[in-house]
């Protein structure tokens, strides 16, 4: 698996990140096997959040020698019925994550969902203190628009390295408006202030979450009866490259020149292998648009 730049951090990370939201369903033995397999495939980037209930489970499987091989990212800011980017909550959340993960540092911390009551200077103080203490090395956001990032960055003395956004074949608002500039149709609505272009201009790594999911919580579009044309197209292209439809779905994301880092959501080793096989495939320009249209996306 090849590597990409992690924002402006100066470090390289694998182009596929391992999402840990569902690992609490694994036994300790299953989790250890899953982690070992991921590391053997070069997938050493593990994504958590304080609301996932994954950190404590993951921490039980770590030893110092294994931790040294990993890049661990977590997120904070979502609380019961509200979002909270206050200094106290950010710092307390990191302290809890360090304890659960049984580590002395987090490689990257993302702010999870925008907090409209955010005070950029307060966030900056939290980031500065955490970095100075060696507790967090890099920072980013999740689900934020271009101007929300610009507002936050205006107070920071460290670059935002990543923005985690929902993106996949059947969830494409960040590119639809760019394909329909100056049009009055539904696809021409700019919903995020040009977040794709902002991230590319500012070298912020986009991390697509739920890349195989349709809607917010509805399920996987692969083999789903609601997407017959898309699945037929994926079947055809998967056969050409001798891989699974999962691999093609990830290869479709990786074909975009923004150099995105999709987050897997599986605890199935075979599915993880299929996701990583996407890094060996470069679908054609024509195939990319064929898949895009087969998902019901319109071009003017």
pLDDT at residue 219, as a whole number = 87
In 3D space, the residue among 212, 230, 207, 225 whose CA is nearest the CA of residue 292 turns out to be 230
Give the pLDDT score at 76.
98
Of the residues 2, 52, 147, 198, only one is catalytic, namely 52
pTM for the whole structure = 0.96
Q: Per CATH, the architecture of 3-294 is what?
A: Alpha-Beta Barrel (3.20)
Tell me: the pLDDT tens digits for 32-80? Answer: 999 999 999 999 999 999 999 899 999 999 988 899 999 999 999 999 9
Cα–Cα distance measured from residue 168 to residue 212, given in angstroms and rounded to the nearest whole number: 6
Q: Where are the domains of the chain?
A: 3-294
298 — pLDDT class (breaks 50, 70, 90): confident
| pLDDT range class, residue 285, cuts 50, 70, 90 | very high
**286-297: average pLDDT:** 97
Q: Tell me if residue 52 is catalytic.
A: yes
pLDDT at site 87: 98
Strands 219-220 and 213-214, by their bridges, are antiparallel
Q: What is the rounded distance in angstroms from the CA atom of residue 215 to the CA atom of residue 225? A: 15
In the chain, helix, strand, coil percent, each to 5?
40, 20, 40
pLDDT of residue 216: 65
Share of the chain above pLDDT 90, in %: 93
What's the pLDDT tens digit per position in 89-115? Answer: 999 999 999 999 999 999 999 999 999
Q: Give the model confidence (pLDDT) of 187-202 as tens digits.
A: 999 999 999 999 999 9
Number of neighbouring beta carbons within 10 Å of residue 23? 22
Segment 126-138 mean pLDDT: 98
**Burial annotation 238-262 (CB, 10 A radius, 16+ → b, else e):** beebebbbbbbbbbbbbbeebebbb
Task: Quick: pLDDT tens for 255-266.
Answer: 999 999 999 999
Q: In the structure encoding, which two tokens stand for residue 75, read together?
A: 């997120």
Tens of pLDDT, residue by residue over 213-253, are 987 667 899 999 999 999 999 999 999 999 999 999 999 99
């Amino acid at each position: 698996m090849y590597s990409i730049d992690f924002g402006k951090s100066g470090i390289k990370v694998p182009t596929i990140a391992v999402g840990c939201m569902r690992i609490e369903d694994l036994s300790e033995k299953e989790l250890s096997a899953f982690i070992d397999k991921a590391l053997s495939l070069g997938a050493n980037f593990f994504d958590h959040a304080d609301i996932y209930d994954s950190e404590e489970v993951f921490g039980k499987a770590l030893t110092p020698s294994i931790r040294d091989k990993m890049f661990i990212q977590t997120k904070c800011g979502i609380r019961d019925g509200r979002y909270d980017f206050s200094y106290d909550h950010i710092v307390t959340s990191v302290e809890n994550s360090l304890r659960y993960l049984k580590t002395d540092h987090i490689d990257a911390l993302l702010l999870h969902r925008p907090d409209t009551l955010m005070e950029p200077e307060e966030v900056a103080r939290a980031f500065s203190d955490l970095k100075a203490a060696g507790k967090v090395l890099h920072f980013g956001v999740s689900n934020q628009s271009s101007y929300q990032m610009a507002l936050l960055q205006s107070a920071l003395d460290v670059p935002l390295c990543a923005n985690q956004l929902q993106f996949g074949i059947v969830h494409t608002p960040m590119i639809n408006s760019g394909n329909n500039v100056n049009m009055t149709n539904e696809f021409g609505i700019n919903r995020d202030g040009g977040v794709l272009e902002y991230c590319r201009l500012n070298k912020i790594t986009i991390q697509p979450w739920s890349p195989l999911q349709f809607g917010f919580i509805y399920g996987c579009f692969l083999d789903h009866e609601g997407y017959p044309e898309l699945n037929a197209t994926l079947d055809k292209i998967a056969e050409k490259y001798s891989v699974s439809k999962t691999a093609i779905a990830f290869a479709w994301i990786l074909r975009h020149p923004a150099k995105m880092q999709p987050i897997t959501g599986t605890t199935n080793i075979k599915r993880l292998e299929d996701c990583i096989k996407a890094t060996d495939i470069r679908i054609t320009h024509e195939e990319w648009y064929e898949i895009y249209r087969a998902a019901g996306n319109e071009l003017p």
